[in-house]
Amino acid sequence: MNILIECRYAIIPTKTYGGIERVIWCLGKELSNLGHQVYFLVDKTSVCNFATVIPYDASKSIESHIPEFIDVIHFNRTPTFKVKKPYVVTIHTNPPESENLSKNTIFISKNHAKRYGSEAFVYNGIDWSDYPKPNLESTRNGFHFLGKSAWKLKNVFGAAKIALAANEKLHVLGGKRFTFRNFKRGLVYMLSPKVIFHGMVNNQKKIEVAESSKALVFPVIWNEPFGLAIIESLYAGCAVFGTKVGALEELISPEVGVTSNSYEDLIFAAKSFNYNPKACYDYAVKNFNAKVMALGYIAYYNTVLAGDTVNPEPPKFVSEYNTVPKIV
């Protein structure tokens, strides 16, 4: 197949933070490995050695960028024009109730799909060869938080609360200590010498810190559609302690972590969990690799190439499934 992956504002490859960019890169690479011809419609500064980059020109329509020979288009946002070729759309966020979604929408977890009345999803997967191999025999102390710490829904303050209550250090990968929000809302945590900030990190630094950590502490307070931080941490041999929101409960099996909406429960887990780095690593590599993801999408490409739609009707926001339980 000639497959066009559209993510017009993305710069690939990403060096530090950039979940969508990382996913489309891994998807395109694996599709290429499987024998398909891959094209990226992305920012003009992007480079790629396994696919053709079509630079996005904002002065032109999206349609004008699409070569005639393309068999299927993979959008990463809902198109606002009538698409003349077979296409699918991956939604990586939580669209508001007012947004009109396509019949060809694919979500990134079972929970994500359910919250919009759909059953169509493909888990994100990573090309783990892009990451250093973790040392699963390393001595592990403390915990880590991985994500944009400035975004309150990621709840870095809650992660610090859990780590400090367990009398452990917390390494924060993805933010700065000295921000207005940290001083206004989380001073008691952010001034602790046990909370260590590493800023935005690349894959090398991410694994270097995580392979010495016992677990990712991830008490997010929103419906996380997926959470690359979870599978990256599992790959590094870390357990995951998170809230029962969004996709977390389906991604975190009892063998590799604990989910709860009680801080007390998560603190207890941090102190008493039966840590098994090899089990965490194996779980990530087996279930969340780029090939599994690519094969999932190929099945949907074949669906639309056959003239069918991914969903019988456009997915719609389901209010009862989109509430966020309070963490106590």
Report pLDDT for 192. Answer: 86
> Which pLDDT belongs to residue 177?
62
Which residue from 29, 24, 69 is spatially nearest to 43, judged by alpha carbons? 24
* Predicted pLDDT at 262: 98
Residue 151: its pLDDT value, please?
80
Alpha-carbon distance 45 to 53, whole Å?
Answer: 9
Q: Cα torsion for 77, 78, 83, 85, to the nearest 10°?
A: 50
pLDDT for the residue numbered 183: 52
Helix H or strand E segment including 41: strand 37-42
Query: Global pTM?
Result: 0.94
What domains can you pick out in the chain, each with its CATH number?
2-126+292-321 (3.40.50.2000), 132-286 (3.40.50.2000)
Question: pLDDT at position 149, please?
Answer: 80
pLDDT in tens, 145-168: 999 887 889 999 999 999 999 999
Q: What is the pLDDT of residue 1?
A: 97
Give the residues of the chain that fall short of pLDDT 50: none
- The pLDDT value recorded for residue 239 is 99
